[in-house]
C-alpha cells in the first residue's frame, strides 16, 4: 500500500502525465485531415488536405510519438515507486515503449507523405494512383493493442498497491473493454481514445490528496 508520504510523488507524476495528455490532444486535433468528418474518401482528396495543411500534418506526426515516449517514461517512473506491483507496472512501461516504436514507423511515413503530397498531386494519374497510407495496418494495431494493454496493466498495478484502489480497476476494465470494442466491433480505434483513458488515470493520480 502507498503511504501518505509517497502520495506527493505520485501526484507530481500525475500532473506530468496530464500535461502529456494535453500535448497529445493538441497533436490529435492539429491536422485538418483528422478534424474532418467523415475523413477524406478518395486518395486525391486525402493528398489535397495534407498538402494544404503542411504545418498541422507535420505537427501531428511529431507530437504523437513524442507523447507516446513521454508516457512510457512516466510509466517507468511510476513503476519504480510501486515495488509490490513493479512487474505489472514495468510491463506497462515496456508495452508503451513498444507502442511508441510502432507509431514512430507511422510518423516517419507521415512526415515523408507531407513532404511529397504536393508533388504527388501534380503527377497524379487516376489510372496508376500512388500507394500511400496503406501499408501500416499491422503496425497500427500493434500500437493500439500495446497501448491498451499497458493501460490495463498500469491500472491493475495502481489498484493492487492501493494508490488508486477503485479508479485503477476502472482504468483496467475500460482498457480491456476498449480492446474488445476496437478489434471485434469497430475494427478501428482512434489513438486519442486511448489517451482519454490516460486522462482518467492522470487526473486520478493528480488528485491523490483528495477523496475519490
Q: What's the pLDDT tens digit per position in 168-195?
A: 999 999 999 999 999 999 999 999 999 9
Is residue 133 within 8 A of residue 56, CB to CB? The reply is no
Determine what percent of the chain is predicted with pLDDT higher than 90. Answer: 77
Residue 211 forms part of a structural domain? no
Percentage with pLDDT > 70 across the chain: 94
Domain of 29, in residue numbers:
4-206
Cα 103–Cα 132–Cα 42 angle in degrees, nearest 5: 115
Does residue 31 lie within any of the structural domains?
yes
Q: CA-CA distance, 147 to 198, in Å (whole number)?
A: 10
Nearest alpha carbon to residue 1 among 208, 210, 198: 208
Contact 84, 160 (CB under 8 A): yes
Is residue 167 in some structural domain? Answer: yes
128-156 pLDDT, tens digit each: 888 777 777 899 999 999 999 999 999 99
- DSSP, collapsed to helix, strand or coil, labels residue 163 as coil
| List of residues 6+ apart from 105 with CB closer than 8 A | 136, 139
Name the packing angle between helices 54-80 and 137-160 (round to 10°): 30
Cell matching residue 187? 475494427
CB contact set of 13 (below 8 Å; sequence gap of 6+): 74, 77, 78, 81, 205
Quote the cell numbers at residue 59.
505537427
- Establish if 58 belongs to a structural domain: yes
Number of domains in the chain: 1
Residue 173 CB partners (closer than 8 Å, separation 6+): 155
For residue 38, which of 140, 195, 188 has the smallest C-alpha distance?
188
Examine residue 125 and state whether it is found in any structural domain, yes or no: yes
C-alpha cell at 116: 511529397
Would 101 be classed as within a structural domain?
A: yes
- Alpha-carbon radius of gyration of the chain: 19
Whether 142 is covered by a domain: the verdict is yes
Contact status, residue 94 vs residue 59, Cβ threshold 8 Å: no
> Within a domain: residue 24?
yes
99 contacts: CB under 8 Å, gap ≥ 6: 68, 72, 142, 143, 144, 146, 147, 150
The pLDDT tens digits of the residues spanning 45-72 come to 999 999 999 999 999 999 999 999 999 9
pTM of the model: 0.90
Amino acid at each position: 500500500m502507498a503511504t501518505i508520504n509517497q502520495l506527493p510523488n505520485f501526484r507530481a507524476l500525475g500532473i506530468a502525465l496530464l500535461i502529456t495528455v494535453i500535448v497529445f490532444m493538441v497533436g490529435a486535433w492539429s491536422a485538418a485531415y483528422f478534424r474532418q468528418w467523415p475523413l477524406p474518401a478518395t486518395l486525391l482528396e486525402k493528398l489535397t488536405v495534407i498538402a494544404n495543411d503542411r504545418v498541422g500534418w507535420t505537427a501531428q506526426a511529431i507530437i504523437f510519438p513524442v507523447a507516446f515516449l513521454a508516457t512510457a517514461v512516466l510509466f517507468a517512473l511510476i513503476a519504480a515507486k510501486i515495488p509490490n506491483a513493479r512487474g505489472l507496472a514495468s510491463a506497462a512501461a515496456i508495452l508503451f515503449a513498444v507502442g511508441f516504436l510502432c507509431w514512430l514507423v507511422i510518423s516517419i511515413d507521415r512526415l515523408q507523405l507531407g513532404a511529397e503530397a504536393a508533388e504527388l498531386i501534380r503527377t497524379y494519374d487516376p489510372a496508376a494512383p500512388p500507394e500511400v497510407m496503406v501499408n501500416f495496418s499491422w503496425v497500427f494495431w500493434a500500437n493500439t493493442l500495446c497501448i491498451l494493454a499497458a493501460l490495463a496493466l498500469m491500472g491493475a498495478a495502481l489498484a493492487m498497491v492501493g494508490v488508486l484502489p477503485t479508479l485503477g480497476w476502472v482504468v483496467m476494465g475500460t482498457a480491456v473493454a476498449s480492446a474488445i470494442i476496437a478489434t471485434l466491433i469497430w475494427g478501428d480505434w482512434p489513438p486519442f481514445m486511448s489517451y482519454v483513458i490516460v486522462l482518467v488515470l492522470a487526473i486520478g493520480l493528480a488528485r491523490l490528496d483528495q477523496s475519490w
